[in-house]
């Protein structure tokens, strides 16, 4: 079964003190590049989130980078080409979406491109509002 991981799940899996760490790390540990995908941009979001989160203990940037490398051993990445990216931005603009919902819409486009049968996220409300037609595939870990 093909699965797509939102950044929120990967960050929670890698940050031991994150409130959603337990269920996230269980899914993360089972990920395999042949069937598990994340957005290419997720790598930057994971690095940025981990290296700047107010976590105790603090995750230093070099260790955050090593965690991003771990993500690459477990996931295949999906990216959008220029036209796909612009199409999503045009659609989000037409719908009046702002903020994090734009990034979520881009990730949902990556999930569609990977033909994911399951989309894992902790942002259920955003994902369901952006893609109600995928509600049966969107779930938390």
CA distance 9 to 111: 14
Structure-block tokens of residue 110: 């990556």
Contact 119/108 with Cβ under 8 angstroms? yes
Structure confidence by residue, pLDDT tens digits, 41-89: 999 888 888 777 666 566 777 888 888 898 999 999 999 999 999 999 9
Structure-block tokens of residue 139: 């779930």
Write down the residue that tokens 């395999």 correspond to. 32
CA distance 141 to 139: 7
- Considering the entire predicted model, what is its pTM? 0.91
Structure confidence by residue, pLDDT tens digits, 86-136: 999 999 999 999 888 999 999 999 999 999 999 999 999 999 999 999 999
**12 upstream amide cis, omega within 30 of 0:** no
Length of the chain: 141
Sheet of 36-39, strand order: 76-78, 36-39, 3-5, 118-120, 138-139
User: What is the three-class DSSP state of 76?
Assistant: strand
Identify the structural domains of the chain with CATH numbers, from first to last.
3-139 (3.40.50.1010)
Give the Cα-Cα-Cα angle 24, 110, 139 (nearest 5 degrees).
35
């Amino acid at each position: 079964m093909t699965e797509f991981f939102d950044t929120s799940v990967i960050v929670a899996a890698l940050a031991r003190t994150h409130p959603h760490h337990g269920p996230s790390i269980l899914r993360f540990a089972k990920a395999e590049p042949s069937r598990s995908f994340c957005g290419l941009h997720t790598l930057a979001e994971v690095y940025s989130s981990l290296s700047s989160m107010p976590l105790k203990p603090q995750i230093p940037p070099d260790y955050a980078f090593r965690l991003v490398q771990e993500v690459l051993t477990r996931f295949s990445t999906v990216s959008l080409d220029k036209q796909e990216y612009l199409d999503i931005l045009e659609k989000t603009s037409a719908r009046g979406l702002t903020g994090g919902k734009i990034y979520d819409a881009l990730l949902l486009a990556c999930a569609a491109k990977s033909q994911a049968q399951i989309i894992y996220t902790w942002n259920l409300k955003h994902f369901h509002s952006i893609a109600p037609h995928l509600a049966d595939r969107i779930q938390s870990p």
